[in-house]
Structure 1
Amino acid sequence: MEKLVVIVGPTAVGKTATGIALAKKFHGEIISGDSMQVYKGMDIGTAKVTPQEMEGIPHHLIDIKHPDEAFSVAEFQERAKNCIKVINDKHKLPIIVGGTGLYVNSVIYDYDFSSSDGDDQLRDELERYGKEHGNEALHAKLKEIDPESYSELHPNNTRRVIRALEVYYLTGKTIGNRPKQPDISPYDVVVIGLTMDREALYERINLRVDIMINEGLIEEVRALYDRGIRDCQSVQAIGYKEIYSYLNGDLTKVEAVELLKRNSRRYAKRQLTWFRNKMNITWFDMTKGREKKLEEINKFIEGKMF
């Protein structure tokens, strides 16, 4: 059975540094479990690991897409599974590090996406409706049949809006109430969760946003904006949509930065809720004594896998 270590947790909790430390300790390679770090030219806003921070550790599934390309959980799963096999074949330890829970879970439990294949004709009809009536009208179709998806999905995220509608029309169930996937993993897997005191985490998030602005986030987003990247999956990400609103003249710079901080804090809260409800995780509180906690994680992995 192939080995796999997974590190999850909310944004800004310290997953990147922890993953690199574990990779150095256990002769590992890292697979990004972040749905936005796949995009080239989106470095600062996604907190993408830098070459210096990698410390020589190979990283996978970073910079594999252009910002105007779509990226699905099914594609992530396929690519990640291939990486896990290749890394194991080299007698090294694959370590998935990321905060996009659905993407990570799809690999851990080998979700069967073929069982929820779509209908091309229905999808084409929904796409035409969206083009003729607008994204808001398409999004409004979800309000009665799937209020949860309606509240979670941005109207401009048409790919996922259409997918939610498609699942309902084909199965009579909302996308969140499809048959549950198996809870047995095909891997010899250890799932580590990093958490910390909420106030401390929120302080780290606010500081991270300030650092991003100082490092050139607005200039990074402006480069995408000037290229005409609009209404794409990539720029709906937190860190990009807020700066787009500033560049469109809808917000002042100060308002955009404050909105980015607020949205990031709310996202961290949603991440923690999702992880606790959807995944079987061993948690480690990183609020204080990170080095000691890292030693505890090392011992935990050793006891489970070696």
Structure 2
Amino acid sequence: MSSDFRLGGDLPINRLGFGAMRLPTNSFHGPARDPETGRAVLRRAVELGVNHIDTAAFYVSGDATVRANSLIREALHPYPADLVIATKVGPARTPDGGLSATTDPADLRPLVEENLETLGVDRLDLVYLRIGGIQPPPNGESVAERFEMLAAMREEGLIRHLGLSNINADHLAEARTIAPVAAVQNHFHAAKRDDTELLAACEEAGIAYVPFFPLGGGLSDLNGDRITKVADRHDATVPQIALAWLLASSPVTLAIPGTGSLAHLEENTAAGSIVLTLEDLSDLA
């Protein structure tokens, strides 16, 4: 299976990318991490062949002193020609440091502009419309007006490709009547596989499927007898096998493991060289 994918049909990227959420803090809006370490992780990720970074303007430390977008700009700008930076809009920070889900389409433009400014670019490669919280919103919630707003900014040249995050099949179908969808980002990993139908729909349409929390996000335990057995067979770690399984699940899956540790970065990127056998996949089924 190829290690590359053409996002939106025109942006070639390595299927094993990097998620920036843990650069400012180890826990969402927790204590700030050392920013120089974050910049070192970003520079090393690019050295290791990562050319797809997933971020958001709301990825910040609890005291808002360390911001993922700022670290990306400081470490990598001017950006390599092949680097694709994906961001997401929808959630917005509240005065108490929390997040609220944006439902008013008019609120999306300033969020897009914030990402343009903090990343130091004239056009964003990929912008996801993120809806709801961790759990998908209830069926029947329309994304049309919000997606139309992003589609208009795409027509202006501020956004290259559009995506959707935390959605169901109805949201995807609705959005595709408005503008092309290049990527879907949902909660999915080796221990949480209840989104296989949407993954299949993305595969059929050539849409990238980019799981958030590809290693469980601290919400799920990946350590089970089956995955441990396969890890031992490859002299690999359980997280490495979990990433290899994601990449083997479909030619459209992209993995974006995040870390603020150079050692974990090396471990995660090494997963891209693991080729699972039919026996491995059977054991992991």
TM-score, scaled relative to structure 1 = 0.27
**Higher helix proportion (structure 1 or 2):** 1
**Higher strand proportion (structure 1 or 2):** 2
Higher RCO (C-alpha under 8 Å, 6+ residues apart): 1
